[in-house]
Amino acid sequence: MNKFLGNKTAILLFISPALLLFTVLVFWPILQVFYRSLFEWDGLTEGTFIFLDNYKRMFEDSLFYTSLYNGLIFALILTVLQISIGTVLALTISDGLIKGRKLLRISFFIPVVLSITVVCQLWLAIYNGEYGLINKIFEALGLSYRQDWLSNSKTAIFAIAMVNAWQYMGYHFALLLAAARSIPEQYMEAAKIDGAERWTAHWKITIPLMAETYKFCLVLAITGGLNAFANMYIMTGGGPGTSTYTLTYMMYRSAFRVGEFGYGSASAAFLVIECLIVTFAINRLVARERIVY
Amino acid sequence: MKKSLAVLLSSVLVFGLTACGSDSKESAGTPEAGGQEQTTTLRIYAQYSDEDTKGYYDYAAAELAKEMPNVKLELEVQAQDDGQKLKSYAATGNLPDIFNAGQDQINLFRKSNNILQLDDYAEKMKFKDNMQPSAMNTLYADDEHIYAFPYAGNEFVLIYYNKELFEQNGVAIPTTKAELLTAIEAFQAKGITPMSIFAKEKWITTALYDIFATRYDPRGIKGLDSGETKPSDEAYGKAAQDVIDLVAAGLLPKGATNLNYDQAAALFHEGKAAMFVNGQWEIEASTKALGDKAGYLYYPAPDQAMYEQNKLAFSGGGSPGGFAVSANTKHKDLAAEVASFMALKYAEFKYTQKGSPIVATKVDMEPAKAFDPMMVTLSEDIPNITSTTAFAWGLSNAKFKAAIEDASQSLLMDGYSAQQFVSDLESALK
């Protein structure tokens, strides 16, 4: 085995198909995005090389700051809701203290497998200013808090982020449940013998031991938030006005609505850099030492 | 044994490759009495998403089958995606032989040599002779060449109103902004939505803004698009302020920016909204829903003098567009002929079946049903129309188009000012 692992030619031979696929499908397009961001290009004709002018223009564009801000808001909401509620759900199920665990486990995961269009249509009805469920609940409770959730520039981005957080919460739940279940039981038993309460034991033992999974969940939630597109495309079309634009939506607008593929590539390139920085920071700051049970 | 196996494998391979490559657009022909005739398959990219658009295509395709039985159309349904699918086709050299193109695509494909110039074909097929003289603007692009055979004609944005609701509530038809504010107040007091609009679609918010802009300057958004006027001109800021004031007074339903066509139209058709904004193609649906109760009103202006002055300056208009032909098609002549035929038949269907005389080409047939009364009124107005502007999709500057669509939808939100509107448009036009 050691002899085989020392054979660099064999290793290269075996990894080359995957490496080739990754290069062609992921790495090369990313390089193209960076390259094309240096051009004034309509996507069809030969572009004009303008070096960093697209970036200069982007940093002077108010839409860029709106998009950046919205992406960060989206990422924050996803991170907080998906990971915190996902943790509570996972630990509740893993403790085995409630009945119907199998049914709950499936129920929590159902939204993940639903089409994003179906989910958005469902929430469009829930958020409706006239007959939507949320406003009806407020009405039933006697609270005068009716809102045009998606038509108000101040609430729309939060409302959309909630939909995404709700849909993919089950995914984080499944990851965290798997992590919680993989922790050897003797740790919890030892904690119980020492007199720790259930939640104290989780706080001191389970959650720290799930750090590797949290790292993965954090990367998924934050980059998912920064990349958000489909929800706003279906629910608000980036509106009202430009209030629910994210960098991905800005890229779509520049490339496909305006036909400025170079400028669109610049916002895409910025997004790639932003996601790489976040991923790098999480990898540096969270679970720096690999956890071994 | 080995040799026969090789022959067998080669045959399988050749057969397989032939089968895979069978997307050749010339098939072996259909046996006809007295010989074989070549059938040519042409890919066509056209609207076919609802009962309305399907009717046009089915009619034209059926007529084509009678007129040119040697042509088989392979339909690709046009996506409602700002033309991105078509642009992707162009980028990959896979444009359909015939495609429905608007101003935006014509301008882009012209630069990239993806669209066939149809001047000679139009001449040869005498397409110009078929054009309505008033719709020649839909035939020629900015460079005075023909790139698409039009059928739609010059269309208009109308403010529809429910006559009965106005009468029952004692509301006068508004001619000025002040009267419109009074009407808003009166309808709101009765729990009636003053004006319905499907503002989730950004083009209609642009049309709403353009309605008010034309009261100050009949060139409206077209003036900005062509560079004849500037966003900082007084007219544009004032029109933005009018929209802001009217929306703040309660002109539109709550959550208007999230209403789609079906929701917004239902409010008007069911008598829950007093007014509704849409193109003149809405006449058929509104008449069907409301009968004689439906009518259209002339756009209210800041004062009576301006109302009279610009009464027949309409928002909307026409732009070059229609059935275009790919520059890379193998069947240029045939595709051009079919594109021209389809355009003529689309216009024919609109005139005879949809009850609309607003078409780009002349139709020498009797309509299947009498024109709706509102259409008759509009037909009487058309010769007196003093000017038109453009629909959002007819704007030639894509950057300005995106900006005005976003900015005009923003006018419906709290906290967005007329100054901001002007400034956003100025940034887009830099």
Q: Does residue A3 lie in a domain region?
A: no
How many structural domains does chain A have?
1
pLDDT in tens, A202-219: 998 999 999 999 999 999
Residue A164 in domain: yes
Q: A42, B108: Cβ pair inside 8 Å? A: yes
Please report residues of A whose CB lies closer than 8 A to that of B114: 44
Q: What is the number of CB-based contacts under 8 A between chain A and chain B?
A: 95
Answer whether residue A228 is part of any domain: yes
Is B306 found in the same domain as B199? yes
pLDDT at A2: 65
pLDDT, tens digit only, all 430 positions of chain B: 444 444 444 444 444 444 444 343 444 444 444 445 689 999 999 999 888 889 999 999 999 999 999 999 999 999 988 788 998 999 899 999 999 999 889 998 999 999 999 999 999 999 999 999 989 999 999 899 999 999 999 999 999 999 999 999 999 999 999 999 999 999 999 999 999 999 999 999 999 999 999 999 999 999 999 999 999 999 999 999 999 999 999 999 988 999 999 999 999 999 999 999 999 999 999 999 999 999 999 999 999 999 999 999 999 999 999 999 999 999 999 999 999 999 999 999 999 998 899 999 999 999 998 899 999 999 999 999 999 999 998 998 999 999 999 999 999 998 899 999 999 999 999 8
Taking contacts as CB-CB distances below 8 angstroms, the residues of chain A near B255 are 128-130, 148, 150-151
Query: Does residue A153 sit at the B interface (CB-CB below 8 Å)?
Result: yes
Both B102 and B132 in one domain: the answer is yes
CB contact under 8 A, A150 and B399: no
CB–CB of A165/A73 below 8 Å? no
Is residue A91 situated within a structural domain?
Answer: yes
Identity of the residue in A42, A62, A128 whose CB atom sits nearest the CB atom of B255: A128
Start-to-end Cα distance in chain B: 76
Pair A246, A70: CB distance under 8 Å: yes
Interchain contact A92–B (C-beta under 8 A)? no
Residue A214: inside a domain: yes
Rounded Cα gap, residues A204 and A199, in angstroms: 8
**Do B328 and B268 share a domain, yes or no?**
no
Q: Which tens digits make up the pLDDT trace of B69-127?
A: 999 999 999 998 878 899 899 989 999 999 999 988 999 899 999 999 999 999 999 99
- Cα B368 to chain centroid distance, Å, stands at 23
| Whole-angstrom distance, CA of residue B68 vs CA of residue B331 | 14
Q: What pLDDT, on a 0 to 100 scale, did the predictor assign at position A98? A: 83
Contact A129 B412 (CB under 8 A): no
- Determine the structural domain holding residue A168 and report its residue range: 38-286
Q: Take residue B310 and report the two structure tokens written for it.
A: 């610009």
Claim to verify: residue B323 and residue B219 sit in the same structural domain: no
Amino acid at B285: A
The verdict on A42 touching B (C-beta cutoff 8 Å) is yes
Chain B interface mutation, best of A32, A44, A66, highest count of B Cβ atoms under 10 Å: A44
Q: Is residue B1 part of a domain?
A: no
The CA R_g of chain B, rounded to the nearest whole Å, is 25
Residues B271 and B361 in one domain: no
| Shortest distance, CA B254 to any CA of chain A (angstroms) | 7
| Site from B81, B258, B259, B399 to mutate, A interface, most A CB atoms within 10 angstroms | B258
In a domain, A7, yes or no: no
CATH code: domain of residue A239: 1.10.3720.10
Q: State the pTM of this model.
A: 0.87
> Quick check: is B371 in a domain?
yes
Token representation of residue B413: 């939100």
Tell me: do B172 and B126 sit in the same domain: no
Query: What is the full DSSP assignment across B237-251?
Result: HHHHHHHHHHHHHT-
| E-strand stretches of B249-352 | 273-279, 294-297, 316-317, 322-325
* Assigned domain for A209 exists: yes
User: What is the rounded distance in angstroms from the CA atom of residue A59 to the CA atom of residue A33?
Assistant: 18
Q: Residue B169: give its domain's CATH number.
A: 3.40.190.10
Q: What is the pLDDT of residue B37?
A: 66
Diameter over CA atoms, chain B: 98
Domain co-membership, B180 together with B266: yes
Distances (CA, A) of A165 to A85, A173, A210, A243, A249: 10, 12, 21, 19, 18
Strand, coil or helix: what is A239? coil
B285 in a structural domain: yes
**What would the mean pLDDT of A163-168 be, rounded to a whole number?**
96
Residue B310: which domain range?
157-316+391-429
Burial class of residue A161 (count of CB atoms within 10 Å of its CB; 0-12, 13-18, 19+): buried
Check if A82 contacts B (Cβ < 8 Å). no
Domains in chain B, number: 2
Question: Is residue A66 in some structural domain?
Answer: yes
Instruction: For chain A, report the end-to-end CA distance as a whole number of angstroms.
Output: 26
Give the position of tokens 């060449």.
B145
Indicate whether B135 and B190 sit together in one domain: no
Chain B hits for A242, CB-CB cut-off 8 Å, are: 406, 410
- Please tell me whether residue A244 adopts helix, strand or coil conformation: coil
Structural contact between residues B350 and B283, judged by C-beta atoms closer than 8 angstroms: no
Task: Give residue B233's pLDDT.
Answer: 97
Chain A residues lying within 8 Å of B225, measured CB to CB: none
Contacts of B87 in chain A (CB under 8 A): 43-44, 256, 259
Three-state secondary structure call for residue B101: strand
